[in-house]
Amino acid sequence: MTTKRTGLTKTIRYFYGIGDFAFALMTNVSVYYSTYFLTDVAKVGLASATFITGVSAIVDSFTAWIYGAIMNSVKPLKWGRYRSWLIIMAPIIPFIFFFQYVVVTGSPVFVTAYYFILMLLGRFSQNFGYVANMTMINIVAKTPDEKVAMASNRSTYNNASKFAWSYIGVPFLALLTAKFTPKYSYAILSCMLSCLMIITYYGHFKMFEGYEDTGAEEMANKIKAKRAKTSPMDLIKSLILNPPLLILLVADFGKWCFNFVVAGTVVYYFKYVANNMPAQAWYTLIIAFCSVIGAYFSRQIGKALGGKMTLVVGFLFMAVCLFIARAVHTQMWPVIILISAAQLGYGVTYSVSSAMYADTAVYNEWKTGKNASGWIMGLANIPLKAGSTIRTFIIAAALASGGFNAKLTPAQAPMAMKEAISTALMVVPGIILVAAALILLFGYKLTKPKLEEMQKEIDERKAAEEAAGA
């Protein structure tokens, strides 16, 4: 029997997360430019562009659970049940992302169908690697502290991409546009960044070598194969019989709601409340710095407080910052400082919540005897997608309640409109964060000592089963 690697290597401690760095850069093309490309470059009608981006996002939300389910249910691939998926979809991603941003001509129905299908394929192809990458935290790390350390690295690199995007993405797109025209510049940028993502994910693939059974090793050991492969009923049980996971899924929505609502509303704040659009550049730089700092120090905070209390304290801290900002919403710089402080808290909670999903996978294996790591880690996509979707309705409702009219200049904006924008930016996500903190505080029962005991029991059970099988 091959001896598996244990503990975190120096490579993992320092470089796990480079794939997330490149993944964030790759997806930024879609985040910042997908709608603009469709309407202004590809000349797709606004209704068609809304259909392409909106319906593809909804489909993506409703299928967020499927990737981990596939990994857990199918026969393990050559390099491992989860590790293989870091590279298995890689060959097709650059092609999809290139053609997704190439200008095509034809009937409106053909053009709409073309971009809709390519956008869906792009989301599907990237999600397998994303879920596998997150799942490897639970495969490699065996203690709560190791999980927090890996999650902290992942979050630090992810937030560092915000700096890189401002220096790589936007300027490089301008150079490509000057050289190749908009007809091809977005496609080239998207393709190049997807190639960078593939290279860095391959780096993750190599650094995880030896931690997971290969497909052949798993299939050769009937006991391991039975434990690793899950049926649809096993997956359902791992969700409904896993109270910590259910609580975490509900509470984690608060973090993502904060992220997406603030990101989508802040431009209205700078235009109509602060009346200072150039200041948004400083705001973007400051929050990126704070998010990186929070992510970096999350391992120390998580180790000291534990995952649950780190999230509870972090959510409440973020909410308090937002509520104070609302009280001084007409003063731009205090608002920037307070929201930036909340972003520091976001950097901490982003890291720790990833490790907590890995903890719920340990709970499930301890309770059911089945390793459903891929399925459980994949479920972390659900609150992310839900937060992204709900922010549209929150922002729209707040603007409507304030009588928003895009034809008004900032000087003409009525006080009710400014109040509504500030409420959407600061009060609504603050209330949701408080609710999330309370749900975690009273509903989430896993503790560090319990998890360590569960992991010990799992290891002992595995050893006894394999000894009996031998």
Pair 68, 375: CB distance under 8 Å: yes
Taking the C-alpha atoms of residue 186 and residue 337, their distance in angstroms, rounded to an integer, is 34
What is the amino acid identity at position 323?
F
Angle at CA of residue 102, ends 101 and 106, nearest 5°: 120
For residue 385, what are the contacts with CB-CB under 8 A and spacing of at least 6?
A: 57, 60, 61, 64
The pLDDT value recorded for residue 3 is 65
pLDDT at 224: 67
> What pTM was estimated for this model as a whole?
0.80
Nearest to 325 by CA among 433, 440, 414: 433
Establish how many alpha carbons lie within 13 A of residue 39's alpha carbon, considering only the half-sphere containing its beta carbon: 10
Which burial class, exposed, middle or buried, applies to 382 when counting CB atoms under 10 A from its CB (0-12, 13-18, 19+)?
middle
Q: Which residues contact 115 (CB under 8 A, 6 or more apart)?
A: 38, 42, 44, 52, 100, 104
For residue 106, what is the DSSP state? S
Burial level of 177, CB count in 10 A (0-12/13-18/19+)? middle
- Lookup: tokens for 413: 């904006």
Which tokens belong to 82? 């989860």
Interatomic CA distance for residues 5 and 17, integer angstroms: 19
Quote the CA–CA distance of 388 and 48 in Å, as a whole number. 20
Specify whether the CB–CB gap between 4 and 140 falls below 8 A.
Answer: no
**Mean per-residue pLDDT pooled into runs of 10, the chain (470 residues):** 76 93 90 81 84 84 85 88 93 94 92 94 92 90 85 87 80 89 92 95 95 85 69 80 92 92 85 87 84 86 87 96 95 94 92 87 87 83 83 81 81 89 93 96 90 88 71
Q: Are 256 and 386 in contact (CB under 8 A)?
A: yes
Burial 338-366 (b: 16+ CB within 10 A, else e): bbbbbbbbbbbbbbbbbbbbbbbbbbbbb
- For the packed helices 108-140 and 332-368, what is the interaxial angle rounded to 10 degrees? 70
Location of structure tokens 């309705």: 393
DSSP bridge pairs for 77 = 80
**Please, what sign has the CA dihedral across residues 159, 160, 163, 166?**
negative
Among 308, 388, 22, residue whose Cα is nearest residue 190:
22
Q: What are the φ and ψ backbone dihedral angles of 80, each rounded to 5 degrees?
A: 130, 160
- pLDDT at position 250: 92
- In the chain, what are the domains? 1-229 (1.20.1250.20), 231-465 (1.20.1250.20)
Q: What is the dihedral of CA 271, 169, 20, 317, to 10 degrees?
A: -20
H helical segments located in 74-168: 93-99, 108-140, 144-167
Residue 225's pLDDT is 65
151, with CB counted inside 10 A (0-12, 13-18, 19+), is: buried
pLDDT at 271: 86
Give the pLDDT of residue 227: 67
CA distances from 159 to 19, 155, 327, 352 (A): 12, 6, 28, 14
- Cα–chain center distance at 419: 30
Query: What pLDDT sits at residue 251?
Result: 94
Give residue 221's pLDDT: 73
Residue 285 identity (one-letter amino acid): L
466: left (phi over 0), alpha (psi -120 to 50) or beta: alpha
DSSP states of 179-210 as a string?
HH-HHHHHHHHHHHHHHHHHHHHHHHHHHTTT
Q: Which residues pair with 80 in a beta bridge?
A: 77
